[in-house]
Amino acid sequence: MRLASITLDGCRRAAALLDDGATLALLPAALGTVDDLVRGGPAALDAARAALPGAEAVPLADIRLEAPLGRFNRDILCTGWNYQDHFEESRGKRGGQDPAALPTRPTFFTKGPDTVIGPTDDIAHDAALSTQWDYEAEIALVIGRDGRSIPEAEAHHHVFGYLIANDVSQRDLQRAHGGQWLKGKSIDATMPLGPWLTTADEVPDPGDLRVQCEVNGVLLQNASSAQMAFPIARLIAELSQGMTLRAGDVLLTGTPSGIGSAREPQIFLQDGDLVVTRVSGLGELRNRVVATSLL
């Protein structure tokens, strides 16, 4: 299923994108939100599937999609430097914070949940706060079953589904706070997420997805998830060592090469830019960068 979130008569509702790609089936309000379905386990998902035949259908074009998830257990979990080409392209351009070599274990960080916006919402931009707003197309996953110290071979059992994120980052803030990335990754209303949550059974091989980002119609990132230094199962296994992952946790899996701060000349997002983020089989995000006072 491809589970979407909408607001109808002031209430957040779950819907499912039908196979035609142009119609949403409104799931019964009694089933709750997409967040509830994620936390409800297999029984909740089975109930959602059973409700599809009699569900009210509405054209996707008539509906504004929200971010699929609106309730978070904790900060958004993220992975850095997970594509070797991306690691290499920024060598010498990290403000003196370069590691000597690609880490031999995954690099994790977090970003605040107030960063999350919907698949067509505006990306906030405040030039007084930062002058280096960078794009980062990523595959995100949602944990569907609690687990700690999850073996790599069992990791796929803990994935509810996949969606797209753009980890918009403020590079100057990222470098300015002791080498810790939290501040430069946690500015409000800057991370598009969606457009819907595709359940894991619809994604037979998350290691072979095309990840792309366009800015104003120019393709700037274009890579396969097969280029990940650490595949998704390894990320889950490493992150969960001694640390419980909960149903509803969101994990970003890293961005490929082509980021703006690594280009010559550099490209940073500006007011009015249109950012389109795509992952094959998962849909696309279309977000306008809009000047917003954040101070």
Share of the chain above pLDDT 90, in %: 90
Are 111 and 53 in the same domain? no
Are 22 and 137 in the same domain? no
Are 106 and 228 in the same domain? yes
Owning domain of residue 36: 2-62
Are 43 and 81 in the same domain? no
CATH code of the domain in which 218 resides: 3.90.850.10
In tens, the pLDDT along 166-219 reads 999 999 998 888 878 999 999 999 999 999 999 999 999 999 999 999 999 999
Q: Looking at residue 100, what is its pLDDT?
A: 64
Q: What is the number of domains present in the chain?
A: 2
Q: Looking at residue 92, what is its pLDDT?
A: 65
Q: Looking at residue 70, what is its pLDDT?
A: 97
In tens, the pLDDT along 83-99 reads 988 878 877 666 666 67
Q: Looking at residue 96, what is its pLDDT?
A: 63
Domain boundary among 31, 62, 93: 62
Which residues does 188 contact at the CB level (< 8 Å), separation at least 6? 112, 114, 115, 124, 294
Are 80 and 58 in the same domain? no
Q: How confident is the model at residue 160 (pLDDT cuts 50, 70, 90)?
A: very high
Does residue 38 lie within any of the structural domains?
yes
Q: How confident is the model at residue 78 (pLDDT cuts 50, 70, 90)?
A: very high
Q: Looking at residue 111, what is its pLDDT?
A: 97
Share of the chain above pLDDT 70, in %: 97
